[in-house]
Structure 1
Amino acid sequence: MMAESTSFEPSPLGGNGDAEYHQPRPRKPTRIDLLKPQLSEETIVNRLKETSSGLSSGRTTPIPENAPPSVKASSSARRQIRAQQRQRIFPTIEYVDRVSHFDPSSDYRDFRGFFVLFWIGLAIMVITTMLRNLKENGYPLFIRQWELFTEKVWELAICDGAMVASTAVSLGLHKAINQKYFRWSGVGMAIQSLYQALWLLFWVTYPFIRDWSWTAQVFFTLHLLAIFMKMHSYAFYNGHLSETLRRLNDLDNPNNASKEEAYRYPHARTHLHEIPQSPSHEKTEDSEKVKLAQLRDDLAYELASPLGRVSYPENLTVYNYVDYVFCPTLCYELEYPRTASVRYMEVLYKTLAVFGCIFLLTVSTEEFILPVLDESAIRLNQTNSILDFILILSETIGQLLFPFMLAFLLVFLVIFEYILGAFAEITRFADRQFYADWWNSCDWLEFSREWNKPVHHFFRRHVYSASRGHMSRPLATTITFFISALAHELVMGCITRKFRGYGFIAMMLQMPIVMVQRSKWVRGRTLLNNVLFWCSMILGLAMVGWKMFLGNCVRLLLTFVCRCVRYMCLCEATLDVLPRTYFGKEDDTSPCDYSIRCEGRNLPMVDDTPLL
């Protein structure tokens, strides 16, 4: 009777209709490895003991002690399966030792739902903005920056194409080197370096001469820097291969050829004392032959592509160069891994995403950045207290924290996820990891490695590794940051039309911050370092908005100082120390009538300089 009672299964057609309460319909879990606990061997053994010690269900016969091992194994397997599949009458919850998804020790990494929530939030922001504008102005959107996007757009397109096409000089140079008109080491490197310097100088100054809008100039400058790095990598890597081929050909006559070991460039983790030094001159005849054969193998291996289908100089073709220009990478290789085919729907999706992100970026700028800057400029011009001046600046930075963080995320997505992804799909470029989980960074060095992998690979290969053979790691790292800081200052100069050094200083300040974060008091505290990273990131992005109109703030501050000086009735000669250009026009107001003009707020205004 007990055995019959334990096998109660209610019929779904019962008259009371309560079958679903006794045996609810199971749901298929999406992550079985997380939701279904794994039974340990000890648990299974204990359950088997409990089963063997209790009453038999009639489905098995106890195994005698002297049964063969095969029979015992089969019986044990059946009992394990029954122990795992046995269900109770009332549904039970199995509780095991496990952590939550957000626990630092959790291995769960699938948070795509938050990515979807991010886009839903942006959609809600756009809809509410359009409804508010429709109610207040009668138009859903009012974009003041439209002229910035359309001004001289055809000139921008033509110059951008000419800029890219002008890098093909490197291909002609290496064809001449391959024809043995001259060598790379010496003449070829000098020609390429001189051409790169003149090329960079011309294309950087051209937008300033033509007075382009800051949006067109920033786009052109970013593309210019990317193409410059592409050209440098193509020229210097092929130059390295040309010298390697020359050495390999010279080994056909080993009596006159150099037999020095092939120079291996240091990697990121190579210490200075680990760099191979000059080999010993004590050589026997047998060791000479072995080293000569090894040298031939090393040089021949260097001339072949990573996939083994292309060798230098077979890569010196127009098709190979054009393909490299369109590939989303800054480091040249003879061959890249490719996907099987182009997914045209994916190209269409990423293209639409690019324009969608630009639209969202424009709306967020119009609604949450430009009004704050305009209002702050007016309030700063009207303030009469140094405390109010500081409070207005602090309030402005606080209001720009979230908008600039949103702008940064949109720019990151449009470049590294959609533009590079679209070009990767068009060229069938298989390596799509253009960034890593930079949001988990604990210091700025880790962030620089993770958030922009193409640029990181270029600097590690052509700047850091090239410098490590001649200097220590800290000095090579400083030089790498120095060159990167110059590039950041160039971009900031294109936005503000003034080179004040803000981008350079902000970039170089990362070095002492990294030293503090890697000290013994802070190092290893992952959560604290990540919090500090995000705080500095958000605050730094908001400071960018303040730096964009810092020149106006300086003039406003000087205006405020002049008011204070006049209010204290200092002599007119003291006022002559300050340049009149800060006030927009000559001002012959005497100290005596300043209080009268102050009451009417009829004060000299600063120049009407646009903030963006």
Structure 2
Amino acid sequence: MGMFFFMVKIAADNWKRHGSPLGTNEIMRNMFRRDVIVLLIADGVMCGLTGVSWLLQRAIRAGYVDWDRTGWVLQNVWQTAYIGAVVGLTMYRDWPWTHTVFFVMHGVVMLMKQHSYAFYNGYLASAYEKRGRLLAKLKELENVDPVRSPSRTEPPVSAISTSHLAHVPSAHEYKERRRSVSAHNAEKRTTAAPVTDIDKIAAAIGSGEPLDEEQVHVFERILKWEVDALSDELKGKSTTVAHAYPDNLTLMNHYEFILLPTLVYELEYPRSDSINWYYAAEKMAACFGVIFVMIMISQAFIYPVVMDTVRMKEVGMPLAERFQQFPWMLSDLIFPFMMEYLLVWYLIWETILNFIAELTYFADRSFYDAWWNSLSWDQFARDWNRPVHNFLLRHVYHSSISAMKVNKHTATLITFFLSACVHELVMWCIFKKLRGYLLVLQMFQLPLVRLSRTRWLRHKSTLGNMIFWLGIFTGPSILCSLYLIL
């Protein structure tokens, strides 16, 4: 109600001053004055080009490319070219900031989707190939005629770990075993790939040396356990064989994932039974309503301040004099930017994502948590944007630990830094200059996280939430003021 009456007041003032409830309406004119059709066509082509990642996975499945050797390199080269083309097109067309923000942010979303699709399927391709090799070894083992006397062929049964055979073979148990092997290798401080029991068993079967009955029996049990665990891994979260790897590598499956409101690829997602068209219409109406409110606020309170800074630079006002206007600019922007910040969150995570989820039968609606109750910035990072948090958790944080062999603190630093670089990229595309203000302020959240865990703030939830909201209030306006003034 308060927002409604606030909009009525703005519209009345605009009517009194300019004879129109929208005022001078420069923002709307900039949004629609040119290249709207070009923007939509370019966005469609950008989404269509994500199929290159699908083609690469099909080539890997057909055996033309090995994911562990060249596949992941080709995928990263393509991703770099993809985001470079997205950013380059905005520069070439010299789009207004509204076009640029939409296109670059949507391009980053498509980039993350491709990365998740490719690297998860690439991992499954390696697991599928390994399972094929183990099945071949089982076939060889069936043709082995065991000797009665104890065999001297390595490895002896006593040197092989069989404790895991007591557990049901599953993807979880398989991952736990891999993690324990990696930890054991790290303790030995060796960079060479560890020789596992499976490697020793495969070598023994392939050597053609005699094996005794106990070896054949144990080798068979271990190989079957690994095959069943890998089969469960290839099944993932799918409930039917049709969705398991490699049957998931269809063009329809790929582009369905591109449409779904998630950034993390899974073989199957929870789905709703029907579409609530009333709910979808409500979210669509809310989407356009929030956009209208954002334009009204920007036109009334933000656009005049921005144009004042532009005029300061055009008349050649020295930096020192412009910087004297910084406190006044900050005070003028702090409340409208706070409103825009909250409205952007509501627009994306409450209206757009829920609208897409309803139309695509996507049942997992956990797009955010109660971030307004955050006591620290790491909690805010988790709760504000759940899709991006889940992506960073799987493909940056855990991947840094497993691939780069770093500890949790270093993985957290890498995750925050990558996120800050992407945000800074968007700011560079908007302002056409690289300053690093957003990157620095976002990285400054790390010491604030450590501060929130000290004995002075650990159990002071009210104070922690107050500090968090102080940052929310001042952060956006400070950033914009810095980019405008300097």
1:230 partnered with 2:161:
no
Deviations 1:537-560 (A, max 9, x none): 111111122023123xxxxxxxxx
Equivalent of 2:229 in 291, 298, 316: 298
1:186 partnered with 2:69:
yes
> How many residues are paired up?
427
1:144 partnered with 2:26:
yes
- 1:239-254 pair list within 5 angstroms: 239-254=122-137
Tell me which amino acid in the other structure corresponds to 2:98.
T
Tell me which amino acid in the other structure corresponds to 2:446.
M
Q: Using the alignment, how far apart are the partners of 1:404 and 1:319 within structure 2? A: 41
Is the contact between residue 364 and residue 403 of structure 1 (CA under 8 Å) also seen in structure 2? yes
- 1:477-516 pair list within 5 angstroms: 477-516=412-451
Give the 3 Å change call, closer, same or farther, for CA 134–448 of structure 1 in structure 2.
Answer: same
1:431 corresponding residue in structure 2? 364
Shift of 1:389: 6.3
Q: Using the alignment, how far apart are the partners of 1:496 and 1:382 within structure 2? A: 19
2:167 corresponding residue in structure 1? none
Tell me which amino acid in the other structure corresponds to 2:31.
F
1:345 partnered with 2:278:
yes
Is the contact between residue 323 and residue 485 of structure 2 (CA under 8 Å) also seen in structure 1? no
Deviations 1:7-65 (A, max 9, x none): xxxxxxxxxxxxxxxxxxxxxxxxxxxxxxxxxxxxxxxxxxxxxxxxxxxxxxxxxxx
Is the contact between residue 301 and residue 336 of structure 2 (CA under 8 Å) also seen in structure 1? yes
Shift of 1:521: 2.0
Deviations 1:113-166 (A, max 9, x none): xxxxxxx11111111111122222222212111222112111111111111111
Tell me which amino acid in the other structure corresponds to 1:144.
E
- 1:351-370 pair list within 5 angstroms: 351-370=284-303
Shift of 1:262: 4.5
Give the 3 Å change call, closer, same or farther, for CA 486–382 of structure 1 in structure 2.
Answer: closer
2:4 corresponding residue in structure 1? 123
In structure 2, runs of 5+ residues without a counterpart are: 142-159, 162-172, 188-193, 202-213
1:14 corresponding residue in structure 2? none
In structure 1, runs of 5+ residues without a counterpart are: 1-119, 552-612
Give the 3 Å change call, closer, same or farther, for CA 384–311 of structure 1 in structure 2.
Answer: closer
DSSP-derived class of the 1:252 partner: helix
Tell me which amino acid in the other structure corresponds to 1:141.
L
1:311 corresponding residue in structure 2? 244
2:152 corresponding residue in structure 1? none
Q: Using the alignment, how far apart are the partners of 2:256 and 2:311 within structure 1? A: 51
Q: Using the alignment, how far apart are the partners of 1:314 and 1:489 within structure 2? A: 39
1:460 corresponding residue in structure 2? 393
Equivalent of 2:327 in 369, 372, 394: 394
Shift of 1:280: 7.1
Q: Using the alignment, how far apart are the partners of 1:265 and 1:193 within structure 2? A: 29
Shift of 1:293: 2.6
Identify the structure with the greater helix proportion: 2
Is the contact between residue 265 and residue 466 of structure 1 (CA under 8 Å) also seen in structure 2? no
Give the 3 Å change call, closer, same or farther, for CA 299–499 of structure 1 in structure 2.
Answer: same
TM-score normalised per structure 1: 0.65
- 1:419-568 pair list within 5 angstroms: 419-469=352-402, 470-551=405-486
1:404 partnered with 2:287:
no
Q: Using the alignment, how far apart are the partners of 1:293 and 1:526 within structure 2? A: 52
DSSP-derived class of the 1:423 partner: helix
Equivalent of 1:160 in 43, 49, 64: 43
- 1:29-48 pair list within 5 angstroms: none
TM-score normalised per structure 2: 0.81
Is the contact between residue 87 and residue 429 of structure 2 (CA under 8 Å) also seen in structure 1? no
1:54 corresponding residue in structure 2? none
Tell me which amino acid in the other structure corresponds to 1:130.
A
Shift of 1:290: 3.5
Q: Using the alignment, how far apart are the partners of 1:135 and 1:335 within structure 2? A: 56
Equivalent of 1:173 in 17, 41, 56: 56
Give the 3 Å change call, closer, same or farther, for CA 534–266 of structure 1 in structure 2.
Answer: farther
Shift of 1:264: 5.1
Further displaced range: 473-482 or 275-284? 275-284
Higher relative contact order (CA 8 A, sep 6+): 2
Is the contact between residue 438 and residue 447 of structure 1 (CA under 8 Å) also seen in structure 2? yes
2:148 corresponding residue in structure 1? none
Further displaced range: 170-179 or 463-472? 170-179
Shift of 1:265: 10
Tell me which amino acid in the other structure corresponds to 1:439.
W
- 1:257-276 pair list within 5 angstroms: 262-263=174-175
Tell me which amino acid in the other structure corresponds to 1:202.
A
Q: Which has the larger radius of gyration?
A: 1
Shift of 1:524: 2.0
DSSP-derived class of the 2:271 partner: coil
Give the 3 Å change call, closer, same or farther, for CA 392–186 of structure 1 in structure 2.
Answer: same
Aligned-pair identity in percent equals 35
DSSP-derived class of the 2:50 partner: helix
Q: Using the alignment, how far apart are the partners of 1:382 and 1:419 within structure 2? A: 43
Shift of 1:379: 8.0
